[in-house]
Amino acid sequence: MLKITAVGRLGQNAKHSTLQNGTDICSFSLACDVGFGDNKQTVWLDVAKFGKGADGLSKLLSKGDPVTVVGDLSTREHDGKTYLKCRADEVALQGGKREGNARPDDKDTWGHGEPAKQSYYDSEDDSGVPF
């Protein structure tokens, strides 16, 4: 299993669908820039977020939105071409609140309506330090 973190922009509005077993899916294409200057390329990643919150997430993601995705990378072959796929564990919306955006506040969300988890170290309280 290969875990990745990809940062990019949506190539189209996210789509919601439901499998026969009732599992919700939010799917979208993500354009990620690689390199710089004359060597800059765009790598496309087909992303799918399964489960709870997929329907709500699909309503928040629009073409051009910047997002960060963390998940499992795989490939698929079709007509002699190789396509990159990501089964997303986390989807973080980047940037501030837009007008008309259904997000409840300016915090990032991870595809299921909860605020992004923040981790930090407080030098005054080392009770949570594992060493």
Considering the domain delimited by 2-93, tell me its CATH architecture. Answer: Beta Barrel (2.40)
pLDDT in tens, 11-61: 999 999 999 999 999 999 999 999 999 999 999 999 999 998 899 999 999
- Provide the 10 A C-beta neighbour count for residue 114: 10
Can you give the pTM of this predicted structure?
0.70
Backbone angles phi, psi at 91, to 5 degrees: -130, 120
pLDDT surpasses 80 at 90: yes
pLDDT in tens, 94-104: 875 555 544 44
Four-residue CA torsion sign, 123, 125, 128, 130? positive
